[in-house]
Amino acid sequence: MIRKTLLVLSLIALFTSCDNDLKIIADWKDVPAVYGILNAQDSVHYIKLNRAFLGQGDVMMMAQEFDSLHYAVDQVGIRLIEKEEDDVPSQNGANWQTRNTYELEPTNEFVRPEGVFSSPTQTIYKTTAPLNKDFYYSVEVYRKSNDTIIAQTDGPIPILSPLSVINPNTFSALIILPNSYIPKVQWRSVSGGKMYELSMRFNYMEFPISGESDTLFKSIEINYPSIFSIDTDGGDNMDYPLSYDQFLGFIAANIPEDPTVRRLVVGFDPSQTGSGGVSIKHACLDFSLSAAGEDLSTYLVLNENSNSLVLDRPEYSNIENGVGILSSRTVKSVNGVKISNQTNDEIAKSEVTKHLNFGYFTLDSSTNPPEIEINYGN
């Protein structure tokens, strides 16, 4: 006990006798934080500029101060620079020629929700400049008083071309059945793209068994895991399978059982076949496919893998004299994709989803022409 007491007293003496000139907080440094994801399909392009702050006092209180997070718009500006690669490279690599320079306009049109940081006003910078996939773009943050560049991208970034989705389309119907061919979402990779993300929305309607007067239109969405192209050259065939088990499991996991309602998939689409029969399809699926540039892909992967406050977060930035990311993305949507009537039967009758009370459609051949009937239960 005596030894322990002496040890504690020695430690107290050690720390209380230290030089009080020890600096816990380093000298102040202006660090711009720049974030922008450019998409040639957008009519307006936004770039977010904040400042990293460090100072004496309560960090939570400083975060609430507008001036701690934002540069004064009359003192600091942002330029978006369009560049073209010269056919004759320099000794240091690519030789870039400036084609256009666009001054970004500050705006407060977006409201920040209440939280740790200053709200509701926040400053975002925007431009309506048309982006061209044949050129490259960089950003400069500069002081207006002397045109001094205080931060910039470490090199021009490419603009991704629009995605081309091969399948599915809005003409033919997806047939998703057990022990059968597995349909796929198929596309070609784009030049400059590295990471691809697919989402699927399933649309349906719901109404009480007591009557159809209170019909509600609803949807559920699944986000598939990201996949990566081998390189960024573009032109590679890529796909994502739509398996029967995953499809029905997604519906069962996201729509709650409710014995007081009945449900139907939306987009009922009967059409006459060449033989005089009737074919029933249901345009109930919407797909969205997005591609991210290599810089954005790297940034997202590193941040996704660092989800603990204990671990050191790996840092990735392509902003010189600052932090952040400038990259490109492109999005392709295919809405109103049909499923076959057999697939709808599986939703209504399979052991996985029959408790959800989806209806299925049959033809009454006793009438002329045949009438379509909606049935529930097995």
Tens of pLDDT, residues 297-312:
998 888 775 444 334 4
d(CA 36, CA 102): 15
Q: What is the dihedral of CA 141, 147, 149, 153, to 10 degrees?
A: 50
The partner residues of 336 in beta bridges, in order of sequence, read: none
More confident call, 277 vs 259: 259
Say which residues have a Cβ less than 8 Å from residue 8's Cβ, sequence separation at least 6: none
The answer on pLDDT for 5 being more than 50 is: no
**Strand partners of residue 197:** 290
Identify which has the larger pLDDT, 39 or 120. Answer: 39
In this predicted structure, what is the pLDDT of residue 365?
66
Name the token pair of 334.
């295919």
**H or E element, residue 171:** none
Query: Which tokens go with 299?
Result: 């940034």
Q: pLDDT tens digits, residue range 366-377? A: 666 667 888 997
What CATH number is given for 24-159 in this structure? 2.60.40
Instruction: Examine the pLDDT at 51 and tell me if it is beyond 70.
Output: yes
At 223 the pLDDT is 95
Tokens 């399933």: give the residue.
202
The two three-digit tokens of residue 62, written as one number = 């400083």
pTM for the full predicted model: 0.81
Per-residue model confidence (pLDDT) at position 82: 97
Average pLDDT, stretch 271-284?
76
Given a contact cutoff of 8 angstroms between Cβ atoms, the answer to whether 293 and 193 are in contact is yes
The answer to whether residues 85 and 143 touch, using CB atoms and an 8 Å cutoff, is no
* Cα–Cα distance, 80 to 104 (Å, whole number): 7
Q: What is the residue-wise DSSP string for 14-45?
A: HHHTS-TT--SSPPP--EEEEEEEE-TT-SSE
Which pLDDT value is given to residue 10? 33
Distance between CA 263 and CA 255 in Å, rounded? Answer: 10
Angle (deg, nearest 10), helices 244-254 and 341-349: 50
What's the pLDDT tens digit per position in 184-196? 999 999 999 999 9
**Overall average pLDDT of the 244-260 stretch:** 96
User: Which segment, 42-51, 115-124, 341-350, 366-375, is predicted with the most confidence on average?
Assistant: 341-350
201 backbone dihedrals φ, ψ, rounded to 5°: -110, 130
Distance between CA atoms of residues 265 and 260, nearest Å: 17
DSSP string across 291-340: EEEHHHHHHHHHHHT---SSSPPPP---EETSEEEEEEEEEEEEEEEEEE
> What residue type is 3 in one-letter code?
R
